Amino acid sequence: MEKSKNKRQHFVPQHYLRHFCESGQIGVAATDPFRYLGADTTRNQCQASYFYCQDDDDSLDEWLSAVESTSAEVLRRISETRKMTDEELVGLRMLAVIFYLRTRKAADVAKLMPKWKADIILKDAIDRGELPPPPGGWRPGLMDFTGASGMLLRHSLIPCWMEMQTVWQKFLVPGPDTVKQFLTSDHPVVTLNPFLDQNDGDRSFSGFSRSGFQLFFPLSPTCCVMFYDAGVYKVGGKRETTVPLSAYDMDQVNGLQIQAADRILLFHPNTQKEEVSQIYSSFERYRRPLEDHLRPVETHNDKSEELVIIKNSIVSLPKPFDFCRTVRHPRIGESGRRNGTWTQFSEIVREEFEKSPRGTGRTGGQCA
């Protein structure tokens, strides 16, 4: 079957990465282990051959290209002015969700559960002689799944975007007493929920609908937008729309980016190697392997059995922010939701959306 027309597909768009550039160059550092790689072009970052399209279906890539063409200038203006209309705010909330769902890391996390199930089912069938073993024997993770990005955008985009309507937002900027700048990465949108008990059995541990939700989206080296649950947190002053951060808080926000990054960190090319190396070494121990998104939970009926669920985020906040604090009497919705009725309505909208014949992607399985 004919391959997609567009071979080089960026899972973090180049127009966004250019916000961190100077003279067409962006700073790059690899993770696990850390290596400062220096300046490079955006064309070489966050891309893979046929990432979205493994066959002749270009629909998802074309849709994302259309989103980028209409949003690039608006995103640039918002990052520079830190001002936006109500309509642009709706669009920025949508972009934050798209950036969160479209990356390679998001796709790899989405594959964890089907891969885990495939390992159990196929290995059991091989052990019972119902299936022949593959050459070299069965190995965990041998089964791969295509179309994960399309599946995420189709099933999660609408409900996550709707939940974003129930959070507040403020712009974060470096304070006047610091020269530090924001980092970004190949998974730039970071979700965090330090308010929730990590033993909670909900599949969406730090999901968009849960009380205590926070989202950080660096727009440039000098601007990061934070979306947060205003019923739980107080961020900056009451009438402030832009909150200046101390050097300590800049490190805390960048530390989240280090934890969330998949394979590379990205930053303004004038950021010194020593600065990037120092902050990476401070937060490296909090990075978790992809498999930690899967968490076994004992069933109520039989403690010998385990139900494996997938966590939405494994990012943590080692020390509290200075600029953001929990309010004295946080508002927690029913079942830990910010707004249970709104979440239920979001699910109805998602179901109706999925009935539409115009989908955003397909998913299927194949052996790697």
Structure confidence by residue, pLDDT tens digits, 303-331: 555 667 777 788 989 999 999 999 999 98
319: which DSSP letter?
A: S
205 in a structural domain: yes
Q: Which among 141, 137, 134 has a CA at the least distance from the CA of 114?
A: 141
- Mean pLDDT within 149-174: 91
Q: Please report whether residue 28 resides in a domain.
A: no
pLDDT category at 367 given cuts 50, 70, 90 is very low
More confident site: 331 or 250? 250
State the pTM of this model: 0.89
Burial 60-74 (b: 16+ CB within 10 A, else e): bbebbeebbeebeeb
**Residue 114: how many CB atoms within 10 A of its CB?**
16
12-41 pLDDT, tens digit per residue, is: 999 999 999 999 999 999 999 999 999 999
> What range does the domain containing 271 cover?
39-357
Asked whether residue 4 is assigned to any structural domain, the reply reads no
How many folded domains does the chain comprise?
1
Name residues whose C-beta falls within 8 Å of residue 289's C-beta, 6 or more positions apart in sequence. Answer: none
5 part of a folded domain = no
Residue 34 domain-assigned (yes or no):
no
DSSP, collapsed to helix, strand or coil, labels residue 9 as strand
Is residue 151 a part of any domain in this protein?
yes
Q: What pLDDT was estimated at residue 133?
A: 83
Q: Which amino acid is at 328?
A: R
Residue 6 inside a domain? The answer is no
Selection from 64, 69, 76, 72 nearest residue 9 by Cα: 64
Average pLDDT, the chain: 85
242 domain-assigned: yes
